[in-house]
Structure 1
Amino acid sequence: MSAPASTPAAPTELQSVWLVAEREIGSKLRSKVFVISSAILILAALASVLWGGFAAASAGDGVAVAVTSQTEAATRGVDGLDVTVADSVDDATALVRDGTVEAALVPDDSTSFGYRVLADDSAPTEVVELLSQTPPVELLDPAGATDGLLRYFVALGFGIVFLMAASTFGSTIASSVVEEKQTRIVEILISAIPVRALLAGKVVGNTVLAMAQIVALAAVASVGLSVTGQTEVLTGLGAPLVWFGVFFFFGFVLLAALFAAAGAMVSRQEDIGATTSPLTILIMAPYFLVIFFNDNPVVLSVMSYVPFSAPVAMPLRLYLGQAQWWEPLISLAVLVATCAGAIWVGARIYRNSLLRMGARVKLAEALRG
């Protein structure tokens, strides 16, 4: 008499989480829409970096400098300079301050050159190299601020990446939960694995994909900046990019748990907007605030400690040199604590709403269970 067939052991909770994560990752990678949209995003990022670099390299044939009648002779016969003759030293200084010229040569009888170079926030290396001799350099604003246009594009880049990744994957998570409820697949799934493992697997799978996109975009930006010779920009972006990845990870996990909970509260795709719209606003707010207030240190400081905007504001402040070394650590601690709370709330709503069919589950009911 043959022995009865042994029943396969049920997967552990960790195995269940990974099985769901694999399912989420596999379904996205098999989706042509996801693959094509990701490729377009990466190519667009590369094109924008290359275009910006080549445009900066080809902007103007010479370096703009201002001179006075006493110092004009020092620039005669020097190629690579776009010379503007100012009426006085004050006028030349004003041209430097308003950004019309990169530097100004003003009289200075105390030096052997007979003049000195005025610059705004950094020594004009290119100007000094073009001159036959190296004059003394005086900075008008030694503390200096990052170039306004570059600051705007860095803020725009951080904001767009966070907005697109969080909104795309967040809405995908919510739609996936609703689809499983509509098709009753969720009833089969939770009969085999715990509800918390199902939620964790969805969050883990989409987080892996989102972080892969972030790494790819960072690599593309680094290659583009290197190819176009923007080494100074690349050096300045190094640490802020790493911090952006860390902040994005916890910020995305926070939002992913809430999006999954929002999806569990409805039973039809048509109703999903009612529960996800508040989360969409929380994602869009940092993008617009950082764009509008990228030159306002007070607003950026406040935003860098608000969990939903910290992934964008704090890396930007680090790039601008406005944050002390300890500030990102405190901001990250606040974000991690908020992330833990959001996971707890999201898991409770998800568990209490997942099998509720029909009308939308009210938030108070989902929290009470």
Structure 2
Amino acid sequence: MNLLEAVRLVAARELKVKLRDKTFLFSTLFFLLFAAGSTILPALIAGGSSTVAVAQSSPYEGRLRDAGLKVRIAEDPERLVRDGDADAAVVDKGAQPEVLAMKSAPNDVVRALSSAPEVRLLNPDAVNEVAAFLVPAMFALVFFFTSLTFGIQIAQSVIEEKQTRMVEILVAAVPVRALLIGKVAAGGILALAQVALIALVSVAGAQFTDDAGSLLPLLAPAMSWFVPFFVLGFVVLAALWAAVGALVNRLEDLGNAGMPVQLAVMLPFFLVIFLNDNPVAMRVLSYVPLSAPTAMPVRLFNGDAAGWEPFVALALLALAATGALLAGARIYEGSLLRTNGRTSWAAAWRDRELRSV
């Protein structure tokens, strides 16, 4: 059996196990519900358009309908408001309209009747301030939680195989390196599928908002670049998590052994969140392997990156992913069959070197 066939066999096994895992299925469902709720609920809570009562031949009927409000013609518009059949009524009061409501002013009716001054935008392509804050947070959160969640699951899977001695059977059937690559490949497929589902649900839910038409075209280039950056960044972290899992024999030791990898994930996450308005810092972060998956798409969204920059950053990330796989495989091979307590990184590296001589 060659390496590719072994990797495919291991990845298929990991996928079958994960797709039957209720914890994974419930977590995916939770994230989908959260994505749908965060986009759809605000629009639902805001409610629909107000129903406005006006008299026959009211001069304000056209303006109210053009604003998307529901208009009802009545002989006594005020009566409809008092009876709860209309949210507001618009009546003539001299040269100005008067809005009648029960407890609070209906803002959508007031806006429809107000005369807005002409506005000339000096920077029409500027990104909305709210979007400029939420988009970096979105990319950072998706990469942070997905890579951390699936990375820890990969490490736990390795530890469980060591505890049950299953790893000895697997090593006898396939090369050790194939185990590592297969686990990383399966985790990457599941993580990317989960992110894609969340993105689809979020985009569908965004159609309920008023800003969807202007925001989605700006997000499209950044989201398309986010996919390859996410995949390569995930490979870096997944290879390291698999190596961490091979270093220990108990799930209780995973927290201490995996602390360096957790810090490697958390530090870029907070840097992108807090420094996203600093062009110099973001330019540097977009070339650092563990922060590039979030920093570069953010710069593309803001229009701060030149056309050649994502290609260079992606090439550097690909080199880092290759290096992480090679280093992770060496640590993995040097510690996977050790069952006499926790193995240090240096000992695993030396053990692999001695066994290769």
1:226 to 207, 211, 231: 207
> Equivalent residue for 2:3?
13
Does residue 1:34 correspond to 2:24, yes or no?
A: yes
Query: How many residues end up aligned between the 2 structures?
Result: 293
Change (3 A) 1:300 1:51: farther
TM-score (norm 2): 0.76
> Equivalent residue for 1:181?
162
2:152 to 159, 171, 177: 171
> Equivalent residue for 1:244?
226
Asked if structure 1 preserves the Cα contact closer than 8 Å seen for 2:39 and 2:208, the reply is no
Which ranges of structure 1 fall in alignment gaps of 5 or more residues? Answer: 1-10, 60-77, 82-126
Change (3 A) 1:310 1:231: same
Deviation of the 1:149 alpha carbon: 1.5
TM-score (norm 1): 0.74
Distance in 2 (alpha carbons) for counterparts of 1:53 and 1:299: 35
TM-align CA RMSD: 2.6
Superposed, 1:180-219 pairs within 5 Å as 180-219=161-200
Which ranges of structure 2 fall in alignment gaps of 5 or more residues? Answer: 50-62, 68-110, 352-357
Asked if structure 2 preserves the Cα contact closer than 8 Å seen for 1:244 and 1:312, the reply is yes
Deviation of the 1:305 alpha carbon: 0.8
Identity of aligned residues (%): 45
Residue identity in the other structure for 1:264: A
Asked if structure 1 preserves the Cα contact closer than 8 Å seen for 2:188 and 2:234, the reply is yes
Cα deviation, 1:192-219, whole Å, max 9, x if unaligned, reads 1111111111111111100101111121
Distance in 1 (alpha carbons) for counterparts of 2:343 and 2:222: 41
Change (3 A) 1:307 1:143: farther
Asked if structure 2 preserves the Cα contact closer than 8 Å seen for 1:178 and 1:267, the reply is yes
Residue identity in the other structure for 1:301: R
Deviation of the 1:131 alpha carbon: 6.7
Residue identity in the other structure for 2:280: V
1:43 to 15, 19, 33: 33
Asked if structure 2 preserves the Cα contact closer than 8 Å seen for 1:290 and 1:300, the reply is yes
Deviation of the 1:173 alpha carbon: 0.5
Distance in 1 (alpha carbons) for counterparts of 2:8 and 2:203: 32
Residue identity in the other structure for 1:49: T
Deviation of the 1:153 alpha carbon: 1.1
> Equivalent residue for 1:266?
248
1:308 to 287, 290, 293: 290
Report SS of the residue matched to 2:207.
helix
Distance in 2 (alpha carbons) for counterparts of 1:244 and 1:55: 31
Distance in 2 (alpha carbons) for counterparts of 1:170 and 1:153: 25
Deviation of the 1:290 alpha carbon: 1.8
Report SS of the residue matched to 1:139.
coil
1:282 to 261, 264, 269: 264
